Amino acid sequence: MTPPLPLFTGLSAFPLTPADVDGHVDTDALQRLVQRIVGSGARSIGLLGSTGTYMYLSRAERRRATEAAIEAVGGRLPVIVGVGALRTDEAVAHACDAAAAGADALLLAPVSYTPLTQEEAFQHYQAVAGATDLPLCIYNNPSTTHFSFSQDLVGRLAALPTIQAVKMPLPGNGDFSGEIARLRRIVSPDFAIGYSGDWGAAEALLAGADAFYSVAGGLFPRAMAALTSAAMAGDESRAARLDTMFSPLWDLFKAYGSLRVMYTAANLMGLSSALPPRPLLPLGSEINAKVEAAIAPLREA
């Protein structure tokens, strides 16, 4: 286990989980990806997030991925493992598997088919948070889960002893400062507020977010760590320059989805030969050229 550090601060880099179309994880490729993040300036690795295709993998494959990644990291960075599942008992099982494998923290999204009520989500989180003693981060990702956390629910969850952070989507109105201020009023001073949605990284961190959970950080950890560091230091001009370097990639994320783009980028960089899990399809050759152009400056960063 990694010595105690501020777990939910700075850059959390989220790598792909390379696998074949049937969901069998390529643990060698995964280990290469996480080893690239170590020493990059990232503060943690976010394993089995949405980019890590956690919902497309069986329990056994998730466990294999977790064990392989933690082995490769060797305690040099905290590993935060996604444990979301449709049923509470399954999410509890994933949490216990992650703890047994040596994870440092958990990330939980309110995955659902039948839309959850606020109380159902609370009880779901309460059960998973109580299954281990690991710190847990709330994964607020309404574009994927179709569940929106009320401010009251975030406050209730933040009062549970092991829930120590929230991963927020980019605010629709762009008011990071206002949203962070509202959240600060309902959580304890040491509760960490972070964001995801890579094109909003600079703005979120300049507004005072504690952390950024980054898709691009999974393949370009040094460049993304530099952007994060500049923004957290309040260096607007440097953060803007680095954000501009990423802009072509952000445009592709918005057009085609970050998951598909990152599979293409990883393969173009020779880091993986994985394909997105079916029914997702890889991008066509005409898009590959755009990805190659977008990542060219980032490879050298």
Q: Which residues carry out catalysis?
A: 139, 167
In Å, what is the CA distance from 157 to each residue of 117, 119, 164, 225, 272? 14, 11, 9, 29, 38
Q: Say which residues have a Cβ less than 8 Å from residue 247's Cβ, sequence separation at least 6.
A: 199
Closest CA to 194 of 44, 301, 79, 73: 44
CA-CA distances (angstroms) from residue 81 to 96, 261, 294?
Answer: 11, 22, 29
* Start-end of H helices in 10-58: 27-37
51 assigned to a ligand binding site: yes
In 3D, which of 128, 145, 139, 207 has the Cα closest to residue 173? Answer: 207
Report the binding-site residues for pyruvate: 51
